[in-house]
Structure 1
Amino acid sequence: MNQLTRYNPFHQIHQGLRAMLYHCSLQVQHTNFADEEQASTTIAQLKELIWLFDGHAHTEDTKVFSLLADKAPEVIADFEQQHDKDHMLAAHLQGCIEQYEAAVKSSDKVFAGRQIQFSLAEFTAFNLSHMNMEEVIIKELIWQHYTDEQLHELTMEIVSSLPPDKNARYSYWMLKGLSITEIAEWFRAIQATAPPFVMDQMMELAAAALDCADFNEVQKSLALEMA
């Protein structure tokens, strides 16, 4: 099978996580951390970032890397070490957030905000590189040993194992990170395989995540497919 047509189980979730990193990075840069109301929105977003990345790493450790542990043990050991570093960077970012939350003076809050920016930059740079490596090295290994059908089944297993609220947040950021063509293809697959209420929920999520023009394009694409 042509590699361009093979199923990449990392692509959709990684595009969502990349979108979240880009969004949070700009949001932090635009935040006046002396303004508690403005900063609280940014802090909440960063806490969600840490939560979703931690969950994603756990999923990879337990459901993806385990597929290759006996086939490429040295490679998997290296990526598990990378996840250890990821946890360390996330803990540092969490510590900077706690430093901000403990600050009383405006000057201390602004200083803590700058530390948050630096820490987030380190977290972002590491994870962007790490995800790229997974989509080259790990992806090639799973393609060697597993069929697309097996990888689709793995994706469904992962999705079904997630709490609904967490799955919705991953889906929101995937909608933010995918092209309109990719979203339409995703939604057509949902239409074909899931109960109608699932599609209704995803359309509501898309309406919240996308601007009006992009949402209309998705609706138009789905309507043409059904016609």
Structure 2
Amino acid sequence: MNLSDATQLLRAEALTRYDIYRWIHKALRARMCRVLVAVGGIDVSDGPATARALDQLDALLAVCRGHLQHENDFVHAALEAAQPGSSADAADEHVDHETHIAALAAASAALRREPAADGALRLYHALALFVSENLVHMHMEETEHNAVLWRHCTDAQIQAVEQRLMASLPPAELADTLPWMSLGLNATERAQLLGGLQQAVPAPVFETMLDSAMAPLTEPQRTALARALGRAPVPGLVMC
């Protein structure tokens, strides 16, 4: 599928059909870009700052590993049931991504052991390539894979796949993803996400989730979200 075809597909169906990829991919893009900037800013003469950047990178790599497995186990299974062979190319790319994740993890560990400016630059370039590959890969999933799902499945069936995936996640993984998803979503999507959580979980749990979702937002974004949820605006600004 060329770029023109993909763009037409997005215009025609992306806003009317359920998109299993949209919110999690927005979270991943936000996190990847933030971590790429952090790694690009590494100055190995500042040990604590270097360690913080590498901690962010290692956390991102763990998230990417988990995301690959979740897609393999749930989304690819749905694609194969709908149209055999439709996930094959993506599955091959997932294998390549796993190789790149392992190489980045090794480079991160090496830089921790022996901080060096040339090692930091090589790590940054390798991460930039990994992020760029993932951006292209996610676009393919959002267009080609969604086209298969939308052709063969109802929105309710797609949502059922997502619900099974979500039910398989440990609470710590959900908590880790929420602020990045909040950061990546637009105001309407953010209100839908938090509004759904408000209805689905006990009030004390929701308060913790709301604090986490608010943390990376600007003051206007926090105010808009509070209003959408029927709450008083929360003062202050916290950036992750």
> Please, what TM-score do these two structures have when normalized by structure 2?
0.86
Pairing of 1:121-132 with structure 2 (within 5 A): 121-132=128-139
Q: What is the aligned partner in structure 2 of residue 35 from structure 1?
A: 46
Q: What is the aligned partner in structure 1 of residue 15 from structure 2?
A: 4
Structure possessing the higher relative contact order (Cα contacts under 8 Å, 6 or more residues apart): 1
Q: What is the aligned partner in structure 2 of residue 142 from structure 1?
A: 149
Is the CA contact 1:31–1:39 (under 8 Å) kept in the aligned structure 2?
Answer: yes
TM-superposed CA distance for 1:217, in Å, is 1.1
Identity %: 27
Of residues 40, 45, 53, the one that matches 2:56 is 45
Is 1:223 paired with 2:233? Answer: no
Is the CA contact 2:187–2:221 (under 8 Å) kept in the aligned structure 1?
Answer: yes
Q: What amino acid maps onto 2:192 in structure 1?
A: E
Is 1:16 paired with 2:27? Answer: yes
Q: Distance in 2 between matches of 1:147 and 1:2?
A: 13
Q: What is the aligned partner in structure 2 of residue 151 from structure 1?
A: 158
Q: Distance in 1 between matches of 2:216 and 2:55?
A: 17
Residue 75 of structure 1 aligns to a residue in which SS?
coil
Counting helix residues as a fraction of each chain, which structure ranks higher? 1
Q: Distance in 1 between matches of 2:96 and 2:155?
A: 30
- Alpha-carbon RMSD: 1.8
Inter-CA distance 169–60: structure 2 relative to 1 (3 Å threshold): same
Is 1:160 paired with 2:156? Answer: no
Q: Distance in 2 between matches of 1:28 and 1:194?
A: 36
Q: Which runs of 5+ in 2 are unaligned?
A: 1-11, 232-240
Is the CA contact 1:206–1:215 (under 8 Å) kept in the aligned structure 2?
Answer: no
* Cα shift readout 1:150-196 (whole Å, capped 9, x = no counterpart): 22222222222111111111112101111122101212222333332
Q: Distance in 1 between matches of 2:163 and 2:81?
A: 23
Q: Which runs of 5+ in 1 are unaligned?
A: none
TM-superposed CA distance for 1:221, in Å, is 1.4
Q: What is the aligned partner in structure 2 of residue 109 from structure 1?
A: 116
Q: What is the aligned partner in structure 2 of residue 86 from structure 1?
A: 97
Is 1:204 paired with 2:211? Answer: yes
Q: Distance in 2 between matches of 1:136 and 1:3?
A: 9
Q: Distance in 1 between matches of 2:167 and 2:183?
A: 21
Q: Distance in 1 between matches of 2:219 and 2:143?
A: 35
Q: What amino acid maps onto 2:217 in structure 1?
A: L
Inter-CA distance 126–183: structure 2 relative to 1 (3 Å threshold): same
* Cα shift readout 1:83-126 (whole Å, capped 9, x = no counterpart): 011111111111211220221xxxx5212111110110111011
Q: Distance in 2 between matches of 1:48 and 1:208?
A: 18
